[in-house]
Structure 1
Amino acid sequence: MIALVTGGAGVVGKALCRELLARDVCVRVLVLPGDTQAGFLPEGVEVFYGDVSDADSIRKAFVGVDLVYHLAAILLSTKPGAFERINTNGTRNVVAAAKEAGVKRLLYVSSISVTYPVLTEYGKSKLAGESCVKESGLQWTIVRPTLVIGEPVGYGGGIEFNMYANYVRRFPVYFLPGGGKCLKRPVKSVDLVKGIALAGLSENAVGKTYALAGEGVLSMAEMAKAVLKLAGKRHWMIPVPWWIAKKLAVLKSWIGGKPVTAEQALAGFLYDAAPDIENARADLGYNPGSPLEI
């Protein structure tokens, strides 16, 4: 079997390549031209260069492929239309290239943010990508990762959690919108990668959508305490009412910085992301650990 991983040079992409190789899958990756991270891919991975937003540049990578893991996406941007161009239209291009090449199976890595009651521009782009995959006519599976935590905690893995960890470590006093009561079910990057690999290889997963989360549910305030404990720091949290948080542009710069809109920076503090994972356990044998301890 030959599996193509789009966005294969990213942190999760490289780890997925290693996981698939360990399962005796032949791995091919699609990475952006000039991406220096391609040099750190595992030995034995076949590299193709192309941009999912440019349909002509990616076609060759799909020839002879049995299974596509579509990870390529952008998570943060303030550029108008960037999410739609890459996350939505890029997914359409991947689906079209897969069908043209006769690929049978496609796994799409979406986001738990598509379940928020009010979607950010990022969430809208990923949900539109899900619709494109479901209507593709291919054998599809969709996974929705929650907040990704790598090793060491707050330094490796998901960019969103890393930004949050940096924020609470940076200031002796830090502010949390809503008092940090929002609930999350973070996932260790190693568990996420195994879940993605299993979902793409399992026949039980065809036509299904899975949340890939960790074992424990924590509030944002509890996650902050865990990060500070690991860093050996004692900082003080000040709760900020929502109506104030939405007006304080400074929170956006503290939490996310220039690549993040205020809407996206605050959405994670407003909506719970603690999904049930029992269907992933039953179908995939997915048994994640808990990435943080209070």
Structure 2
Amino acid sequence: MKVLVTGGAGVVGKALCRELQARGVCVRVLTLPGDTGVDLLPEGVEVVYGDVADYASIRPAFDGVDCVFHLAAILLSRDASAFERINAGGTRNVVSACQDSGVHRLLYVSSISVTYPVLTPYGASKLAGESVVRESGLDWTIVRPTLVIGDGGGVEFRMYADFVCRFPVYPLPGGGTARKKPVRSVDLVKGIAAAGLAPEAIGNTYALAGPEVMTMAGMAARILRTAGKRHLMVPLPWWIAKRLAVLRNWIGGRRVSAEQALAGFLYDAVPDIENARKDLDYNPEKAL
């Protein structure tokens, strides 16, 4: 069996390549020209170059593969149009390339943020991608990862950990009461691989989360304890947080809009993972 992994030179993509190879799968990676991440890909992975936002540049990569794992996306940008162009538009191009090349099986990596009651531009772009995949006529599967931790992955978690460790007194919007089920990178990768390869997964959507519910404040406390720090958390009322554009700079710098920075503090992400346990033999461990 041969698969194509879009965005395969990213942190999660490289780990997925290793996992797929361990399962006896031949792997081809599609990544942007000049991506230095290809130097760290496992031996034996074929590399092709293209931009998912440009159909003509990616079409040849789909020839001769049995399944596509579509990971390529952007998570952080202050340009809202970039989410539509790359995440939604890129997914439309991937679906079209599958259809035109005769690839029937597609695994789409979405995001748990599509379940938020109010969508950020990122969440809206991933939800639009889900719609394209469901209407494609392909044998599709969708996975929705939660907050990713470990193995060099999880840019959102790394920004959050840096935030709470950086300041002796740190503010948390809403007091950090939003609940999460963070997932270890190693468990996420196993779940993605299983979802793309299991016939039982066709036509299904799976949340890939960890087994433990924790609040953002509780997560911060564990981060600080691991780092050997005794910083003080100050609850920040929502009405103040929403007016402090500086929060964006505290948490994520110029890559993140204030809207996106606040979304993770505002909404719970505690999905049920029982269908993933049953269909995919998905048994994640605690992330922290």
TM-score normalized with structure 1 length:
0.97
C-alpha separation between the residues in 2 aligned to 1:249 and 1:62?
43
Q: Secondary structure at the match of 2:172?
A: strand
C-alpha separation between the residues in 2 aligned to 1:169 and 1:223?
12
Paired letter, 1:8: G
Alignment match, 2:137 = 137
Give runs of aligned pairs for residues 1-294 of structure 1, distance below 5 A: 1-151=1-151, 156-292=152-288
Superimposed CA distance per residue, residues 103-135 of structure 1 (whole angstroms, 9 cap, x where no aligned partner): 010000000000000000000000000000000
C-alpha separation between the residues in 2 aligned to 1:40 and 1:281?
31
C-alpha separation between the residues in 2 aligned to 1:150 and 1:5?
21
CA-based RMSD? 0.5
C-alpha separation between the residues in 1 aligned to 2:150 and 2:29?
22
C-alpha separation between the residues in 1 aligned to 2:79 and 2:87?
13
Is the Cα–Cα contact under 8 Å of residues 80 and 121 in structure 2 kept in the other structure? no
Superimposed CA distance per residue, residues 45-66 of structure 1 (whole angstroms, 9 cap, x where no aligned partner): 0000000000000011000110
| Structure 2: 5+ residue stretches without partners | none
C-alpha separation between the residues in 2 aligned to 1:251 and 1:234?
21
Paired letter, 1:259: R
C-alpha separation between the residues in 2 aligned to 1:284 and 1:222?
29
Superimposed CA distance per residue, residues 70-89 of structure 1 (whole angstroms, 9 cap, x where no aligned partner): 00000000124100000000
Q: Secondary structure at the match of 2:239?
A: helix
Moved more, 171-180 or 77-86: 77-86
C-alpha separation between the residues in 1 aligned to 2:91 and 2:248?
29
Query: Size of the alignment, in residue pairs?
Result: 288
C-alpha separation between the residues in 2 aligned to 1:249 and 1:29?
38
Structure 1 runs of 4+ off > 6 angstroms? none
Superimposed CA distance per residue, residues 8-61 of structure 1 (whole angstroms, 9 cap, x where no aligned partner): 000000000000000000000001000011111000000000000000000110
Paired letter, 2:61: A
- Per-residue deviation, 1:220: 0.1
- Per-residue deviation, 1:248: 1.0
Superimposed CA distance per residue, residues 117-166 of structure 1 (whole angstroms, 9 cap, x where no aligned partner): 00000000000000000000100000000000014xxxx21100100000
